[in-house]
Amino acid sequence: MTQAVLEVRGIVKHFQTRGGAIARAVNGVSFDLAKGETLGLIGESGCGKSTLARVLARLDTPDTGEVLLDGNDIGRIGNRAMKPIRRRIQMIFQDAVSSLNPRATAGAAVAEPLKLHRVVPRNKVKDRVAELFEAVGLPVGLMSRYPHEMSGGQCQRLSIARAISLDPDIIIADEAVSALDVSIKAQVINLLMDVQTRLGLSYVFITHDMALVGVLSHRIAVMYLGRFVEVGDADAIIRRPMHPYSQALIAASPIPDPDRPRTQALPIKGELPSPIKPPSGCTFHPRCPLAQARCKSEVPELRTTGEARQVACHFA
């Protein structure tokens, strides 16, 4: 594997709720992201995926831990120092339409980052915007449209154009295609993959669509209650998940692959516990079909089992 562009070390992000309780949204997450790699991040709603995404895109600062971009910690640097780094990490949001300024035309939305970072000389901005429109398959005629005058798919293409205009190294896609129709979804995914091969980008791709994550990612990280419970090669995890939570998650999702062996996981019961009062020991133990006394007291560390696979379970 090539050198890591992004190294994430022990990210913790807690939020104080109104009542003064502390929600442990992200509770010690570490991983590496190689150049040109896609890391698929899966997990239930509320497991901390989006908070992690916001920390990686530096919309939030981590409480502790480091986000190393080429070895330099960007986790807590100020806004001014952050500006040149913004060029390198971009983010695409779930709701395409509302992630665009309602009062800016499509052309202006793409021109803005170009001007802001002086990517091209001022008189070339227009040409570059047209190129980017073409690159994401948007008709140039849409340039004077406002977001509400365009479809969800077009808006998401526009967001992609805006993100790649800065020629970033990393794009964080937080449920970037979840809200799109199936046919549009396929087009946008193809576009994302196409852009990746052309520009050599790395993606952190957050989704709860198991079929999608298998197609798109090189590696998968399964997140549960603010922690990674399993990380490894995408195909390997989809075919043979090792953590009971991953097993349940994958068994529960329809994956259109006839060759895939049927996983014999027992269905998990109950709801995701509140991150305000996470269970003791292994946070998954109240729902785990394999849970034993040890799981209640001892936190399983994420440890390497077999090649390129890390699992946080006492029995894996």
Partner 1 sequence: MAKFLSRYFNAVFGLSILVVIGLVALFAPHIAPYEADRIFAGPRLSPPSAAYPFGTDALGRDMFSRVVHGARLTAYVGTIALVIGLGAGAVVGLAAGYSRTWLRGFLMRVIDLLYSFPGLLIALALVAFIGPSLENAMIAVGISTIPFFARVTYSVVIVERAKPYFDSGRVIGAGSLRLMVFYLLPNVLPALIVVGSLGFSTAILAAAGLSFLGLGAQPPAPEWGALLADGRSYMTNAPWLMIFPGLSIFLVVLAFNLVGDAMSEHFDPRQRWKR
Residues that bind partner 1 (CB under 8 A): 54, 57, 59, 79, 82-83, 86-87, 89-91, 93-95, 98-104, 112-113, 116-117, 159, 162, 166
Query: Which of 129, 126, 205, 118 shows the shortest CA–CA distance to 164?
Result: 129
Judged by CB, which is closer to partner 1: 106, or 231?
A: 106
Query: Which residues make beta-bridge pairs with 168?
Result: none
**Smallest gap from residue 122 Cβ to partner 1 (A):** 16
**Smallest gap from residue 93 Cβ to partner 1 (A):** 5
DSSP characters over 262-274? PP-PPPP-SPPPP
- The Cβ-side half-sphere exposure at 307, using a 13 Å CA radius, reads 2
Q: Which amino acid, 81? A: A
Q: Which amino acid, 12? A: V
Judged by CB, which is closer to partner 1: 81, or 293?
A: 81
Judged by CB, which is closer to partner 1: 40, or 168?
A: 168
- Cβ atoms 156, 175 nearer than 8 A: no
Rounded Cα distance, 96 and 179, in Å: 8
Cβ neighbors of 35 (< 8 A, separation 6 or more) are 2, 3, 4, 5, 169, 200, 202
**Smallest gap from residue 172 Cβ to partner 1 (A):** 9
**Smallest gap from residue 289 Cβ to partner 1 (A):** 38
Judged by CB, which is closer to partner 1: 95, or 233?
A: 95
Radius of gyration of the chain (CA): 20
Judged by CB, which is closer to partner 1: 61, or 297?
A: 61
Judged by CB, which is closer to partner 1: 104, or 251?
A: 104
Supply 27's token pair. Answer: 């509770």
**Smallest gap from residue 50 Cβ to partner 1 (A):** 11
Q: Tell me the residue length of the chain.
A: 316
Judged by CB, which is closer to partner 1: 178, or 263?
A: 178
Rounded Cα distance, 195 and 218, in Å: 16
Judged by CB, which is closer to partner 1: 95, or 235?
A: 95
Query: Which residues make beta-bridge pairs with 303?
Result: 311
**Smallest gap from residue 78 Cβ to partner 1 (A):** 12
Supply 213's token pair. Answer: 């994550």
**Smallest gap from residue 57 Cβ to partner 1 (A):** 6
**Smallest gap from residue 136 Cβ to partner 1 (A):** 16
- 78: buried, middle or exposed (CB in 10 Å: 19+, 13-18, 0-12)? exposed
